[in-house]
Amino acid sequence: MAQICFYGGVGRIGSTKVCVEQDGWRALFDLGLLVPDQHQLLQPSLRLRPGSELATRLRLGEVPRIPYLYRAGALGGLDLEGGSDGRTALFISHCHIDHMGLVGWVDSGVPIYASPESVRLVQALETAGLGLEGGAPEVRSMDEDEVVEVGPMRVERIAVDHDVPGASGYLVSTDQGVVAYSGDMRLHGRHPERTMRFASRAAGAAALVVEGTTLSGDPAHAPVSEASVDLAYDKVLEETPGLVLQTLYSRDIERILAFTEIARAHGRQVLWPERPARLLAAYGVPGVRALDDEAVADARSSPASFAVQVAVTELDRLLALPLGPGSIFVHANGEPLGPFHQPGWDLLQGWLRHLHVPWYSLGTGGHLSPADLDLFVGLVAPSALYPVHTADPYRLAPPPGTRRVLPEYGRRYPVGLRGPSISTPPASARSDDAPKRATVCVDLDSTLADTSHRHHMVLPGDQRDGTDWVAYSLACEEDKPIEGACQLVRILSRDHRIVVLSRRDEASRELTSRWLLRHRVPFDELILGGVDGAPADPREFKVHHLRALLGRGERIVLAVDDLPGLDVAVAGAGLDVPVLRVQPPYFPGT
């Protein structure tokens, strides 16, 4: 039976490693270095003895102990099977260090596959003297739509769009269905059609392992397109009379080529520090000029003719350049990435303040926005959804019919794992392989959703029963979220089944589902009013459904509701369910 196992990217951004196993064969996807935070024992400033790096990382738990993967001689005497057993293959999604930084330690008997562009970039890194820790791996080129057989499994590569050349997703055909692995991708880049094609090819997969990098951010924030970034850079060059300093990510080849052409149109040449200059030249970028002494002298004599890439390790170079009024610094997703990623951020800011150079940020990320992530997952509509490469996987709400699983490190999940549909969730449909989670029941109107804008639709006093409740329910699309309650549900959904229980009319089901997805409120089941002979009284309605849920075997540990007196009604009905009352801001003192 085919299984999925997660060795990285679980509950954090980066270091992704996903393994699909069947009949003793292993298809491993990505082998990234752990991106260190302030709590990690291995920091960039710590220099490990050459050749000891893998063993040190294994001993500290920063590298997974996967048998028959690493070179035996690099294990430092650890009790782990090295070499290859001929049953493992490694597939790289793209050339970012958090996805392929450990590939240099892989045994030569383990085949490694990647896109032709990724192979070219790996070779360029080696040629430029910037090769991977552990040595130069042999990476085999895998064309678009090419299929590689790994024992009984078939692995197919599909191109996606990201901010590095050759980004790929993979489809794995197993005896339990297809596993789709996204790698990193976006829809706001130069090639959104690639990501959309992957969604189309992955549609109906038994399991989707998808990156959720942006889930920690503001879901309302929409990323700008690469075309908009180009226009912004063009405007900066138009309005800057002096020298332009800039930082671009040296592996974002397409943006580098675009910026180079824009700079040339403004009569400027881009100057590169030695290391990225070697990399770009080795990759085949034309006209790369290094920031050597001659280039510095040219920049001093004609600052308006150049744009200079800044290396945070060579800030003393700035003292030789003609900076001050008329100059500008353009940060375009290059290193240092930000204050939360690299200590060089504050150092760079200090140097620019000292030199009186203004800071300007432009750029766009390489990952699906929360809205695009919802769109992508909805298009694939997998049976099971596994969010990885994110610190907040619980914020990815699955579409109807999809079971969301928050993966745990080292745990194996059957590929055919199925769960209840959000629309039709009978307990008998639950897989015996799934853990029996406790249930939290959550109200909707005036608990999760601010309904104040449609209160005028409710007739006053004795006329209330004449209200058009269908129209009232259908007006839900413009509700604002009550963010504190929504965040509570997101947190509870990590370990609990979420049942949204509302008296809204059944006609609003599609609008309600879309609202919950749009505002990132995870749920496993949606129960709306007027079904199962439920009474009209709001308290009796809730008691009725709580009793029904308990009767079918749900273990309800909490009900969250704005309804006054619900706790008394629940207790009076003999139900052992605690009630948490939400006080909406527009009903003070009720």
Residue % of the chain over a pLDDT of 70: 91
Confidence of residue 106 (pLDDT cuts 50, 70, 90): very high
Q: Tell me how far CA of residue 462 lies from CA of 199, 212, 336, in angstroms.
A: 53, 50, 65
Residue 550 confidence (pLDDT) above 80: yes
Q: Output the pLDDT for position 437.
A: 82
pLDDT of residue 402: 85
pLDDT of residue 43: 61
Say yes or no to pLDDT of 345 above 90: no
So what's the pLDDT on residue 37?
Answer: 59
Residue whose token pair is 């942006």: 214
pLDDT for position 220: 60
Instruction: Scan for tokens 């699955």, then name that residue.
Output: 398
The two beta strands, 412-414 and 306-309, are: unpaired
For residues 404-426, give the mean pLDDT.
66
Task: For 44-75, give the DSSP string.
Answer: TT--PPTT-HHHHHHHTTSS---TT-B-GGGS
Peptide bond just before 336 cis, omega within 30 deg: yes
- Please indicate whether the domains covering 226-361 and 436-581 agree at the CATH topology level: yes
The model's pLDDT over 66-79, given as tens digits with 9 standing for 90+, comes to 999 999 999 988 98
Q: Please give the CATH superfamily to which domain 226-361 belongs.
A: Metallo-hydrolase/oxidoreductase (3.40.50.10710)
The structural domains of the chain, with segments of one domain joined by +, span 3-219+367-414, 226-361, 436-581
Helix (H, G, I), strand (E, B) or coil at 174: strand
Buried b (16+ CB within 10 A) or exposed e, 175-210: ebbbbbbbbbbbbbbbbbebbbbbbebbeebbbbbb
| Residue 216, both tokens | 């920690």
pLDDT digits (tens, 9 = 90+) for 145-168: 999 999 999 999 999 999 999 999
Question: pLDDT-derived band of residue 427, with 50, 70 and 90 as boundaries?
Answer: very low
d(CA 64, CA 296): 46
Q: Does domain 3-219+367-414 have CATH number 3.60.15.10?
A: yes
Distance CA 529, CA 504 (A): 5
Predicted confidence (pLDDT) at residue 340 exceeds the cutoff of 90: no
pLDDT category of residue 81 using cuts at 50, 70 and 90: very high
**Residue 199: pLDDT over 70:** yes
Q: Which fold has domain 436-581?
A: Rossmann fold (3.40.50)
| Unique residue bearing structure tokens 């959309």 | 196
User: Which amino acid is present at 262?
Assistant: I
Q: Is the pLDDT of residue 299 over 90?
A: yes
Average pLDDT over residues 42-47: 63
- 446 pLDDT exceeds 90? yes
What is the structure's pLDDT at 452? Answer: 92
| 3-state helix, strand and coil shares in percent for the chain, rounded to the nearest 5 | 35, 20, 45
- The pLDDT of residue 419: 37
